Chain A
Amino acid sequence: MIVFAPIIIPLLFIILSLSLNKASNAAQRIVFMAGNIITIGVGVTILATVLSEGMIVAQAGAWEAPYGITLVADTFSGIMLTLTSLTVGVVSLYSLAWKEDNLNTSVFYALIFGLQMGMNGAFVAGDLFNLYVWFEVMLISSFVLISYGSGKVQLKGTLKYVTMNLVSSFFFVAGIAVLYGEVGTLNMADLAYRVREMGSELNIFAPSALILMGFAVKSAIFPFYFWLPDSYHTPPLPVSALFSGTLTKVGVYSMIRFFSLIHVEGDVFYNQLFLFVASATMISGVLMATSQFEVRRLLSFHIVSQIGYMILGLGLFTKLALTGAVFYIIGHCVVKTNLFLLSGIGYKYTGTFDLKKSGGLIKKSPFVAILFFISAMALVGIPPLSGFFGKFMLIKAGIESKEFIHVASALAVSFLTLFSMIKIWNEAYAKDLPQSVLENGFKWGRPSNQLIVSSVILVVVTLGLTVGSKFIIDVCSTAADQLLDIDGYVKTVLKK
């Protein structure tokens, strides 16, 4: 029954925060943080249960699979539940101290819980239509969050985001419709079973291609990523940080879940497609990032680029590659969120997100500079920081599978990422403030300590990924084993 908790608890807290609309600000904040802590607790509990007792399956209303609504949590779901609730928790702490954009209202708190409910639902959904519904729950909350502030810029960004995501949802539903017509089931375990009986994943080529389109837009992979850098830099910074860390990962998670389940031994069409898409995503994302000077836009293009590494793991589809991909998702989610949070701290100091107009942070606050340096190097993958382990496993798996072109592009992209991070370092931290800014009566701002503490928590998690890397890699490889063991998944869910 614990699989229902990650959905029900955020729902309860939505109701609670909205009903506290008239209560004092302090009460609202306490409920907000309590909700986040409980959700993290639920995520950790599910992960621990899955690790000790194996997959958890629950049927809503006691309708046996494949007829009812099935909720499934395996190690990968457990990891994602823990990871996203942790990220949301830290960003929530950060948003309480942001003090701009009117973020501290009960509606904002309710929306964050709504987002969390949608994501958690997507992680435990056992059938495709249920997955679609959770996607929509997540999207509707994110639609409102991304338009927060309702300035001209936000509304422009929101329009692009909303339209693209709606169209992708229609692709997804159309895929579900055709799939139901062809196979007669939407339960993912039952689907995996029947596709293997058919003998080839290409028997459901039309629906799976439509569903891939839906996932591709949501996870921003080549060539469907143009909406992301256009809309992720417009909302208030805590919202950008939240979206960059978590939302695209839900798309990647669903893609890995769906395509690993319908994979049939010997079919290489989708693997080759994913490899090509992965390289194209990595290279085009990072190349466009190099020309950016708005720090949030620059980081947004890097999200696109790094989604490519995760898809690379799916394309290679060996145990090592999937372990690397899962580890990379963990490291990336933490580090990317933190880079956004730090750019917000930089903004509090200098009052701008434009790299050309900022500078001098290393003298102003060496501590923040260290936090940035660790996060940036972890993103690039300098050993022994978290990005290194993920990339190392992915590249080793690529060499073992003899996909040398994709390995080469993964390595080249690492160098370009380093270039971008050094650019932020030089422009915002190392160089002195430009003369033109100083002449205009520049004054240093001061971020509150709570902002810096939130960032410190994420840096500690990043360092924890290094210190505890053996344990984390073991957990990731269990997740990879379960992803590859399709028979086990089918047996556990369908009991046959």
Chain B
Amino acid sequence: MELILSIVIGVLYTVGVFFLLRRSMIRIILGVLFLGNATNLLIFVASGVTPDAQPSFLSSSTEAASSNMADPMPQALILTAIVISFGVVAYLLTLLRKTHEITGEEDMDQLK
């Protein structure tokens, strides 16, 4: 499981960097989206994937279950990171639309 997810993260990072280095404006948003999702997955994988574990707050009363609890922390981190990147991407979309409207350019190299 970890191996597959790690490869997926690698691919997402590659695609994100590739898009960021393109000249088209819309690809910058795509790049940021890919990098953001890759980072979220990285938080998930780096803190250990535990497929058999139970949600931490469901069964904290019983002794046996508490030894096999999923760590709630990375999920909280991912949730926060998703919300933040959502806001940032919304801003970026507006910014690029406005830039396109004012300059009439779609090519980043023309914006020096």
Contacts and interface: CB of A to CB of B under 8 A. Distances in A.
Interface of A: 129, 133, 136, 140, 143-144, 147, 150-152, 155-156, 158-159, 162-163, 166-167, 170, 173-174, 176-178, 180-182
- Which residue of A150, A156, A173 has the most chain B CB atoms within 10 A of its CB atom? A173
B77 A180 contact: yes
B72 to A, nearest CB: 11
Contacts of B48: 181
A152 B104 CA distance: 10
B111 A159 contact: yes
B69 interface: no
A180 B43 contact: yes
Contacts of B96: 159
Contacts of B73: 180
B3 interface: no
A180 B102 CA distance: 44
Interface of B: 20, 28, 32, 35-36, 39, 42-43, 45-48, 73-74, 77, 80-81, 84, 87-88, 91-92, 95-96, 98-99, 102-103, 108, 111-112
B95 A133 contact: no
A170 B80 CA distance: 13
A180 B73 CA distance: 9
Given A167-B35, A174-B39, A180 B99 contact: no
Contacts of B43: 173, 176-177, 180
Contact of B92 (A150, A162, A181): A162
A105 B87 CA distance: 23
Nearest to B80: A133
A155 B102 CA distance: 9
B88 A136 contact: yes
Contact of A174 (B42, B47, B88, B112): B42
A158 to B, nearest CB: 6
A159 B91 contact: no
Given A150-B102, A167-B35, A159 B95 contact: yes
Contacts of A159: 95-96, 99, 108, 111
Contacts of B80: 129, 133
B69 to A, nearest CB: 14
B42 to A, nearest CB: 5
A177 B88 contact: no
5 contacts: A152-B102, A155-B102, A156-B103, A159-B108, A163-B32
Contact of A170 (B35, B46, B102, B112): B35
A380 to B, nearest CB: 32
Given A140-B91, A180-B73, 9 more contacts: A129-B80, A143-B91, A156-B111, A163-B20, A170-B39, A177-B46, A178-B42, A180-B43, A182-B46
Contacts of B88: 136, 140, 166
Given A136-B88, A181-B46, A155 B74 contact: no
Given A133-B80, A140-B87, A180 B95 contact: no
Nearest to A230: B112
A152 B31 CA distance: 23
B29 to A, nearest CB: 10
A147 B36 CA distance: 23
**Top 3 A-B pairs ranked by shortest CB distance?**
A181-B46, A177-B43, A155-B99
A175 to B, nearest CB: 10
Contacts of B87: 140
Nearest to B99: A155
Contacts of A170: 35-36, 39
Contacts of A144: 91
Contact of A162 (B42, B95, B108, B111): B95
Contacts of B74: 177, 180
Contacts of A173: 39, 43, 81
- Which residue of A133, A150, A162, A170 has the most chain B CB atoms within 10 A of its CB atom? A170
B91 to A, nearest CB: 6
Nearest to A171: B39
A155 B84 contact: no
Contacts of A176: 43, 77
B98 A150 contact: yes
B77 A129 contact: yes
Contacts of B99: 155-156, 159
Contact of B98 (A129, A133, A143, A155): A155
Nearest to B108: A159
A126 to B, nearest CB: 16
A60 to B, nearest CB: 13
A144 B95 CA distance: 9
A299 B47 CA distance: 44
A182 B48 CA distance: 10
A166 B95 contact: no
Contact of B46 (A150, A158, A180): A180
A158 B95 contact: yes
Given A133-B80, A166-B88, A181 B47 contact: yes
A180 B46 CA distance: 7
B42 A166 contact: no
